[in-house]
Structure 1
Amino acid sequence: MAGGRTGSAARADAKFVEFIDVEKNYGNFHAVRRLNLSIGRGEFLTFLGPSGSGKTTTLNMLAGFERPSQGVITLDGKSVDRLPPYERNIGMVFQNYALFPHMSVADNVAFPLSVRKAPKAEIGPRVIRALEMVKLERFKDRKPTQLSGGQQQRVALARALVFQPTLVLMDEPLGALDKKLREHMQIELKQIHEMLGVTIVYVTHDQSEALTMSDRVAIFESGNIAQIGTPDALYNEPATAFVAGFIGENNALDGVVERVDGDQCLVALPAGLTTSAMAIGGISPGTAVQLAIRPERIAGSGEPANNRFKAIVEGRIYHGDHQRLLARLPGGQVLTVKVSPDAAMATGETIDLSWRTIDCRAFPAGAAPDGNTPNTGSVT
């Protein structure tokens, strides 16, 4: 199996994969717009975004299933634009597993070695090592139809890794699994990545999946990368309203900027309310903005905060380890607030809410990525 390098140590080669001014057009439709992205050796990078945002098209260009309309893609310093998929030394794991139903588990895993004409004496031991890695060595003689969905996914993963690829691409690989099994497989995939140090590029529309497994996440929107960074940076410091809404749960409030003071601003809300917030993007007095506040960053009046409001409880949702309150501000806007599971707040009760300025971010309303602006991504 590959390497044994951890993800953090392996990223010394910051440009193991590069997209340089890459575009993909289908007629007049721009699926990917001037993408510039660097992926480090040994990194676990996830492409995250809604359907049609360009993430799968980008993965397919890297795999060789699609050709860029313009630009260059390099792997380990060499252009792969004209190489067919089988010459790129890339492993692929698909959502539908793509296993051969008439072959045994061992034969499925051995297939990439056979087509690469590996010595027969090596194939058996390498297949067993790959199956041991995914804890399926005792199922080697079974057919895929005799396995559960999670076991089939492990076979697909073993097959993708058995020929020691330099890069593994995964396209929604856990999408067909139930929630509990999907969460278990997320942990296993991350452990395998840390053990082998192989570079993984992963595609999903599930933000929880992306935050759980990734070293970095690239958030796609309308063919652009809206933002790229570590999971905690994307969650705590979203660069756009789209990113704030797509990563984690978020309260969105509409307002108008009254005053800007350095990196902060004062925002007027309906019913004469005002709040201070961090000013993100091109904001000036009179700018219509959307405020983003995480439910867990809204506190009761006993907490230190710059912004304080009265609100009426309109509903409670019990989640076991916490409750979600639906609280209406005087201007009619409703906030979701994360509170203790033991908090006793009745529907119709008036409560005090507050948040710190640093936890509230103001974005220009309706801001969208500029299709003429290059996207950039680098390992940090």
Structure 2
Amino acid sequence: MAAKAGESEKDGAKFVEFIDVEKMYGSFHAVRHLNLDIRRGEFLTFLGPSGSGKTTTLNMLAGFERPSEGMIRLNGRPVERMPPYERNIGMVFQNYALFPHMSVADNVAFPLSVRNVPKSEIGPRVVRALEMVKLDQFKDRKPTQLSGGQQQRVALARALVYEPTLVLMDEPLGALDKKLREHMQIELKQLHEMLGVTVVYVTHDQSEALTMSDRVAIFETGVIAQIGTPDKLYNEPATAFVASFIGENNALDGTVERVNGAECAVVLPDGLKVIARPVGAVSPGAPVQLAIRPEQIKLAAEMRDDDNRVSATVDGCIYHGDHQRLLARLANGQILTLKIRPEASMANGAPVDLAWSVGDCRAFPAGAATTNKH
């Protein structure tokens, strides 16, 4: 049996279990040897690029797809052959999927009606659901009379009205503009904390995943490259792919000169030598990719004796309000991005000395295969 993807750091029983799950579409391996536990009440996000397997995994949990191999358990019961309507799962989609001819209240009531809930109970439960998403005053309107954000709230109320044990969300904020999307992220997280329901969320937006999640599972080519809390993934990426996919990252190619315990010396193409923390199987003579976050690179005035030091040339400065992004070109032509004060003045072509801590620079094996890991 393959090693399990990272356990949640929260207390609580396993609520969802994927056990050696595989999904094939003909000869295409969409999901490979997936072993994953989801804790009751947590907000877990599946994050990854298109085609990485995150939506396929969500659809198998929902019952829209059946695993080619393996088992899925929900609250201890195998569900991989159970139809979706028997799983007591709420779904929220990017396109809202509201009935345009029905009122907001009727849209929210629909899941109760098809479950033959007594009419005397439907009205009060619809009101409570709409109050949760702050839309009770719009209950008589049609979906087309609402904004995109309001329609998404209706879809959320409809998913919650029958009190499901699990809510699945597939890119639910993807159709909203940036400001509204950020506002809805906060509202969804607050709602999750208030209700305590288990949420599995799919997105390709890494900022969204970091903002909302208790844990994030990063998918790459059908497997989980790494799973953990947002700060763990950002500060301790397990692979070069994770380092590049979560947050901003400077990637430099080099060759290992020597390895000394928790440090390795790496030679860049122009002969410049830097010291880094090796992550994974790193050995002398092997190609590696260095990863350094923009905020971890400092200017000369902030240098320490034990820092890596490089000389570069200013290649551009981009204003971002609370900071500027400085583009600095190394002698080998590679460009580093760092963040500097908004009032700093750096002319194009000017020389600049940069530094970064050894502990903030990671060396990953170049082209290493991804595996499910903690």
TM-score w.r.t. length of structure 1: 0.94
Q: Quote the residue 1:209 is aligned against.
A: 208
Separation of aligned partners in 1, 2:263 and 2:84? 50
Shift of 1:76: 0.6
User: 2:64 maps to what in 1?
Assistant: 65
Query: Hey, what does 1:159 align to over in structure 2?
Result: 158
CA deviations 1:177-231 (Å, max 9, x no partner) are 0111101000000000010000000000000000000000000000010000000
Deviation at 1:10, TM superposition (A): 11
Counterpart position of 1:91: 90
In structure 1, distance between residues paired with 2:36 and 2:81? 19
Matches within 5 A, 1:182-193: 182-193=181-192
Distance 1:189 1:55, change over 3 A: same
Deviation at 1:366, TM superposition (A): 1.1
Runs of 5+ unmatched residues, structure 1: 1-8
Residue 27 of structure 1 deviates from its aligned partner by 0.8
The secondary structure found in structure 1 opposite 2:344 is coil
The sequence identity of aligned pairs, in percent, is 78
Q: Pick closer, same or farther for the CA change 1:10–1:355 going to 2, 3 Å.
A: closer
> Using the alignment, how far apart are the partners of 2:289 and 2:11 within structure 1?
38
Alpha-carbon offset, residue 14 of structure 1: 3.7
- What is the distance in 2 between the residues matched to 1:310 and 1:10? 42
Q: Give the match for residue 355 of structure 1.
A: 356
* Superposition deviation, residue 126 in structure 1: 0.6
Residue 41 of structure 2 corresponds to which residue in structure 1? 42
Question: What is the DSSP-based 3-state SS (H/G/I as helix, E as strand, rest coil) of the residue aligned with 1:299?
Answer: strand
Q: Give how far 1:342 is off.
A: 1.1
| Corresponding residue number in structure 1 for 2:4 | none
Task: Give the letter for the 1:358 counterpart.
Answer: G
CA distance in 1, matches of 2:218, 2:177: 24
Q: Which has the higher contact order (CA 8 A, sep 6+)?
A: 1
In the alignment, the residues of structure 2 paired with residue 159 and residue 321 of structure 1 have an alpha-carbon distance, to the nearest angstrom, of 40
Cα drift, residue 13 of structure 1: 2.6
Pairwise mapping of residues 140-151 of structure 1 onto structure 2 (< 5 A)?
140-151=139-150
2:32 alignment partner in structure 1 = 33
The equivalent residue for 1:4 is: none
1:368 maps onto 2:369 in alignment? yes
Change (3 A) 1:265 1:14: farther
**CA 1:376 to 1:280, structure 2 compared with 1: closer, same or farther past 3 Å?**
closer
Which stretch shows the higher mean deviation, 352-361 or 302-311?
302-311
The residue aligned with 1:343 is 344
| Contact 1:150–1:177 (Cα < 8 Å) also in 2 | yes
Give the secondary structure class of the aligned counterpart of 2:242: helix
CA contact (8 A) 2:90 2:159 kept: yes
Whole-angstrom distance in 2 between the partners of 1:376 and 1:324:
34
Change beyond 3 A, Cα 1:10–1:143:
farther
Are the aligned partners of 1:317 and 1:323 in contact in 2 as well (CA < 8 Å)? Answer: yes
1:161 Cα deviation from its structure 2 partner? 0.3
Query: Does 1:301 find its partner at 2:300?
Result: yes
Alpha-carbon distance in structure 1 between the residues aligned to 2:159 and 2:346: 52
CA–CA separation in structure 1 for the residues paired with 2:116 and 2:373: 39
- Equivalent pairs counted in the alignment come to 365
Q: Report if aligned partners of 1:280, 1:362 keep a CA contact under 8 Å in 2.
A: yes
How do 1:317-336 residues align onto structure 2 when only pairs under 5 Å count?
Answer: 317-336=318-337
Which deviations, in whole Å up to 9, do the C-alpha atoms of 1:102-138 show, x marking residues without a partner? 1100000011111111121111111001000100000
Distance 2:271 2:222 in 1: 39
For the 8 Å contact 1:11–1:41, the answer to whether it is kept is no
SS in 1 for 2:300: coil
- Using structure 2 for the length normalisation, give the TM-score: 0.96
Aligned-residue offset at 1:376: 5.3
Q: Is the 8 A contact 2:225 2:373 kept in 1?
A: no
- Tell me, yes or no, if structure 1 residue 127 matches structure 2 residue 126: yes
Q: Distance in 2 between matches of 1:361 and 1:14?
A: 35
Partner of 2:177: 178
CA contact (8 A) 1:10 1:197 kept: no
CA contact (8 A) 2:42 2:197 kept: yes
Specify the alignment match of 1:6 in structure 2.
none
SS in 2 for 1:82: coil
> Partners in 1 of 2:298 and 2:263 — Cα distance?
20
The equivalent residue for 1:138 is 137
**4+ residue runs over 6 A deviation:** none
Output the amino acid matched with 1:334.
I
**Residue aligned with 1:101, SS:** coil
Aligned to 2:286: 287
